[in-house]
Chain A
Amino acid sequence: MDQNSFLFQAMVYLAAAVVMVPIAKKLGLGSVLGYLLAGIIIGPFALQFIGQEGEDLMHFAEFGVVMMLFIIGLELEPQLLWKLRKSIIGMGGLQVIGTAMLISLLAIAFGLQWQQAVVLGMILSLSSTAIVLQTLNEKGLLTTAAGQSSFSVLLFQDVAVIPMLALFPLLATVPVIQETTSTHSKTLVDGLVAWQHALVVFAAIVIIIIGGRFLVRPIFQLVAATRLRELFTATALLLVIGIAVLMSQVGLSPALGTFLAGVVLANSEYKHELESDIEPFKGLLLGLFFIAVGASINFNLVGQQPILILCLVVGLMLLKSLVLFLLGKIFKLTPDQNILFSLGLCQVGEFAFVLFSLSSQDGILPQSIIDVMIAVVAISMALTPPLLLLNERIIQPRFGSCQRADTKEADKINEFNPVIIAGFGHFGSTVGRFLRAHKIGMTVLDNDSDRVELLRKMGFKVYYGDASRYDLLQSAGADKAKLIVITIEPAEKRLEMIETIKKHFPNLRMLVRATNRYDAYDLMNAGMLHVYRQTLDTALRLGVDVMKLLGSRSYSSQRAARTFFKIDEANLKKLASIKDPDEYILSAKDKIEELENMLQADQIQAISEDTGWDEESLIEDAQRP
């Protein structure tokens, strides 16, 4: 029965998502709104598939946020983080303090105790990392100025949660209900004095940094050597969950810990592999989280006090966006970017749910206020995607210059090389060395962890993973690169890769290595124009030397080899075009037959005399009287 109800629940959530998200996307509403609507529909106030367990679900699904921050960390190289320090501390700090103070003052004006007002201000100053980053990412706006500013502010808020958590117990106004400590799971830091706590926290951070630097890579190397993909995924999940557990144990935000780990690993060769392994989990959990938010909106409460809630939602969002807009002005965002920035962050974030429940446990806020506020928070979150849509459709067009991520700002985060080399074995490495010697920027994809390690040491931009996978290609910048050199083994993998590229990156030029003639046929039939038989040139070079050592002139030998090469390539094209793709598997006998045909063709064509600088006819002419 339990089993059944779990599966049933899973089915309900997945079905709701599968139905609503594509509809929302089709309508241009974005996936976040789709999930939220799905949540409302299956929630207690519509179809009633889920009831109060929505909140438990939300706690579970919050792990999606943790994973998202891990991935964001991965995409952020430490240098970039350092570059953003001004906007993180300046913008983020001013936003949190300014918004919290204004809300607190208003709350005091409305008659709350100052402690309650301060807690309310702090909680409501936060914005939703999940919704904002997901939406901006989907719209390709993360790398714009507004996107980076939003990111900076959100990052600061995630850090700011820690001191907030520490402050809460000091602000208690209502007597604490004793049982809360028992429901509160025990952590490592319970009962430690402040300096000990600080020490433990510091040690945890050091563990993450040092572990990420020196421990993670050999472990992944070991796991990669087993060549079991699922083990790699398991290790990636273990890493994220392990850090999350460690962070909660020392009383820090798990999201912050995984973000830190992500940054530490951002320069690692396993970056893309980790990213693509965690990505689906992150996506599903975030989706679940949004569904839970949708399902947790208490429409009863809204129905009872519609005006109050409406005023609170509108007032809150207005106030937050005004503070943000002012900040945008101070930090010199252009008006269109500033509007995106201030509308994007004007909701209250998912941390509010956690903090509200803590504030009730710590006895700061009465339940009546919390109930109303949770509805307000959920509604403000649900309103964000439509608000951004409104911005995109109606407000931004008025500015004319809706800045897109594909302008030069994209370079800030990702370095896109014009060439991608897939496979860095003997063949690929020769190409790579040549291009590197001529300072042609390239990104290397390889699945040999030892080689990846070595190349990284040599300063190459190398990523570990299966180059035929869409997501790895995507993160290697296949959509921006000019051409890709495909040298991976085996031949089937190359064909697979070609199909992926044809489907997803039609503008990417492919230059493909072929192991032999038959492989070349396959590649040509797959539509490849640039096919390079790996043995042809070398064998002919050897042939030239044989001719030279037997006394032929070197220039003539070389001309002969080039002629042979051209004729052979032309014949190959001809044969490839005749070939029926279904009759590929040539028997040994067929191969011998084909060799015979080739040899005969050579007799006729390739060995034909080089007529360059022929004098015979001239001599004939001259001897005529």
Chain B
Amino acid sequence: MAKVLLLFAHPALEKSRIHKSLIREVNDLEGILFHDLYELYPDFDIDVKKEQQLLLQHDIIIFQHPFYWYSAPALIKQWQDLVLEHNWAYGSKGKMLSGKTSFNIISCGGSREAYSKEGRNRYSIKELMAPFDQTAVLCNMKYWPPFVIHGTHRLTNNEIKGYTKQYRDLLLLVRDGSPAVDHITYLNELVSLPELI
């Protein structure tokens, strides 16, 4: 059973239907630590030592956040800037994260088609995740494809329920198994989306 750290960042959770629903699932999952960054650091003063300690204690680091402006909310960037210190996370003496795994769980308003060469966002999610990908690689970590919930503005309550179930299954799979991620685009492909009534 791998240890999972779920770094959650949402500046206005009150306004999000999907994330509210998702995170309701994680509290009772053993081995998964839900870490609510905006709640802990409303003033952006990240406790670097504590964050590094948490990283050391976990094998899989997940960033869960809305996909704002093709990236994460500002606090994630602040977290990266402060916690991933040179010669700790990377650099000639920075091997502390070596061998760990990281990926993103994101929600975005646009459809999957909108995130393609022909779509209005012109780039695929995979391409847009390049900064996270490269950050993980520089820290000697494996970077997995993201778990993506598209079209959040149009989700029905049923769809939200379905995604929530899929999200829960994914977390369990990540925690308990060693999924094969080599030939997939989204982690969504590893767990089925329940049939919606």
A residues sitting closer than 8 Å to B (CB atoms) are: 553-558, 610, 612-615, 618-619, 621-623
Contacts and interface: CB of A to CB of B under 8 A. Distances in A.
Interface in B143-186: 151, 153-154
Interface stretch (B25-33, B37-45, B52-60, B77-85): B37-45
A618 B153 contact: yes
B153 A554 contact: no
Contacts of B94: none
Given A615-B153, A618-B109, A622-B154, A555 B39 contact: yes
A555 B11 contact: yes
B118 interface: no
A613 B40 CA distance: 19
B42 A555 contact: yes
A555 B154 contact: no
B109 A553 contact: no
Nearest to B39: A554
A619 B152 CA distance: 8
Contact of A612 (B11, B42, B151, B154): B11
Contact of B151 (A556, A558, A621, A622): A622
Interface stretch (B12-20, B98-106, B123-131): B12-20
B153 A553 contact: no
Contacts of A553: 12-14, 38-39
Nearest to A614: B15
A555 B38 contact: yes
A554 B42 contact: yes
Contacts of B11: 555-556, 612-613
A613 B12 contact: yes
A558 B109 contact: no
Among B12, B13, B66, max chain A CB count under 10 A is at: B12
A623 B12 contact: no
B154 A558 contact: no
Nearest to B151: A622
29 contacts: A553-B12, A553-B13, A553-B38, A553-B39, A554-B38, A554-B40, A555-B11, A555-B38, A555-B39, A557-B42, A558-B42, A612-B12, A613-B11, A613-B12, A613-B66, A613-B68, A614-B12, A615-B15, A615-B16, A615-B109, A618-B153, A619-B153, A619-B154, A621-B153, A622-B109, A622-B151, A622-B153, A622-B154, A623-B154
A556 B11 CA distance: 7
Contacts of A610: 12
Contacts of A621: 153
B181 to A, nearest CB: 30
Report whether over half of chain A's contact residues are helix, strand or loop; otherwise say mixed.
helix
A618 B15 CA distance: 12
A558 B43 contact: yes
Contacts of B40: 554
B82 to A, nearest CB: 17
A614 B40 CA distance: 22
Contacts, number: 44
A623 B13 contact: no
Contacts of A555: 11, 38-39, 42
B74 to A, nearest CB: 11
Contact of A556 (B14, B43, B66, B68): B14
Contacts of B42: 554-555, 557-558
A623 B68 CA distance: 19
A467 to B, nearest CB: 34
Given A553-B12, A613-B66, A619-B154, 20 more contacts: A553-B39, A554-B38, A554-B39, A554-B40, A554-B42, A555-B11, A555-B42, A556-B11, A556-B14, A558-B42, A610-B12, A612-B11, A614-B15, A615-B15, A615-B109, A615-B153, A618-B109, A619-B153, A622-B109, A623-B154
A260 B32 CA distance: 74
A612 B15 CA distance: 10
Interface string B87-103: 00000000000000000
Nearest to B41: A555
A158 B154 CA distance: 95
Contacts of A612: 11-12
Contacts of B68: 613
Contacts of B13: 553
A512 B39 CA distance: 34
**A555, A613, A621: residue with the most chain B Cβ atoms closer than 10 Å:** A555
A621 B120 CA distance: 15
A613 B42 CA distance: 15
Interface string B105-148: 00001000000000000000000000000000000000000000
A164 to B, nearest CB: 70
A555 to B, nearest CB: 4
A556 B43 CA distance: 11
Going nearest first, the 8 A-B pairs with the smallest beta carbon separation are A622-B153, A613-B12, A555-B42, A555-B38, A554-B42, A558-B42, A619-B153, A554-B39
A613 B38 contact: no
- B13, B15, B16, B68 — most chain A CB neighbours (10 Å): B15
Nearest to B13: A553
A622 B14 CA distance: 20
A556 B12 contact: yes
For B14, B16, B66, the residue with the greatest tally of chain A CB atoms inside 10 Å of its CB is: B14
Contacts of A558: 42-43
Contacts of A618: 109, 153
A574 B40 CA distance: 36
B15 A613 contact: yes
Contacts of B38: 553-555
A623 B152 CA distance: 11
A278 B74 CA distance: 62
Contacts of B151: 622
B95 to A, nearest CB: 33
A167 B39 CA distance: 86
A136 to B, nearest CB: 53
A393 B171 CA distance: 88
Contacts of A554: 38-40, 42
Contacts of B66: 613
A618 B13 CA distance: 16
Contacts of A613: 11-12, 15, 66, 68
B139 to A, nearest CB: 27
Contacts of B109: 615, 618, 622
Nearest to A552: B14
B49 to A, nearest CB: 19
B8 to A, nearest CB: 12
B26 to A, nearest CB: 17
A464 to B, nearest CB: 38
Interface-centre pick from B38, B42, B66, B68 (highest chain A CB count, 10 A): B42
Nearest to B37: A555
B154 to A, nearest CB: 5
B69 to A, nearest CB: 11
Contacts of A557: 42
Contacts of B16: 615
A315 to B, nearest CB: 77
B158 to A, nearest CB: 16
B40 to A, nearest CB: 8
A623 B153 contact: yes
B48 to A, nearest CB: 19
A619 B151 CA distance: 10
A534 B193 CA distance: 56
